[in-house]
Every structure is written in C-alpha cells, then in structure tokens.
Amino acid sequence: MEDLPKNKKIILFDGVCNLCESVVRFVIKHDKQDIFRFVSLQSELGIAIIEHTGFEKLKIDSVLLYESDGTVYYKAEAVFKIAKYLDGQFKFLSFFSFIPIKISNLFYDFIARNRYKWFGKKESCMISTAALQSKFLT
C-alpha cells in the first residue's frame, strides 16, 4: 500500500458493471481538483487493497473509497464522500449523508442487486483512453 498515491483518494469500482463504468466517467468529468484515482475491484491492485482493508473480497459488491490514511468508506457512505469533492451542483448529493446509513444503504443495495439486469455487464474491465490513463492505478 506504500506505492499508492498519498495525496489522492482511491475509488474501487466493479470493472465489469456498465453502471459503475458510467459513474467512474461521471466522477472523472466532475473531479476538477484531480482528487480521485480509480482501481477495478477485479484487478490485482484492487484485490490487494481490499485484503489490506480487511473486507472479504467475496462480499464486495460495492464501491469503496480508500483514503491514504487507511480510512475506507463503503456503499452509500462512499457515494456521499465522493460527491462532497465533485464540482458544481453535484456536491448537493453529499447533503443526503444526514440520512441514517442503514436507510441509505437499503436504497444503495437495491440498485446494486439490480445493476447488471438494468445496465448490463461486460466480460472485462473498461479500458481507459490514453487521456484518462493517469486516473487509473494498476
């Protein structure tokens, strides 16, 4: 974990999920302060980070936000923390963090359970363009 960038927040995402890929592209577009880096949950680095955090990799079906101090946010809490750093009107999403996490995770889990059915699934992780390559850790 010592090779991870210390000044960046790392978003771990489901690399074969079409919805997740769309969210990653959205975050990249609205990350005007260049705060985030991205790692697929299925990648070697993703698995290493998951093991380092203590999460069981078989139970990971969600976005994780990993900070350089070792703090990890999961599911809806991760979404709210990520939204806090986005530009413009998208910061408003962090306003919903006042909702008890158990309730917001129910909504999150409903979407997560249905994401492949509603948005589809790919056979492999997304391949970023040359311009976006620096945003992805391997």
Residue 78: other Cβ atoms inside 10 A? 21
% of the chain surpassing 90 pLDDT: 46
User: How high does pLDDT run on average in the chain?
Assistant: 86
For residue range 11-41, list pLDDT tens digits in order. Answer: 999 888 889 988 999 999 999 999 999 999 8
Please give the distance of CA 117 from its chain centroid, rounded to a whole number. Answer: 20
* Cα–Cα nearest to 33, from 14, 9, 53: 9
CA distance 132 to 77: 26
Instruction: Please compute the mean of the pLDDT values over residues 7-11 and round it to a whole number.
Output: 96
Instruction: Please compute the mean of the pLDDT values over residues 73-80 and round it to a whole number.
Output: 92
For the chain, how are helix, strand and coil distributed in percent, rounded to 5?
Answer: 50, 15, 35
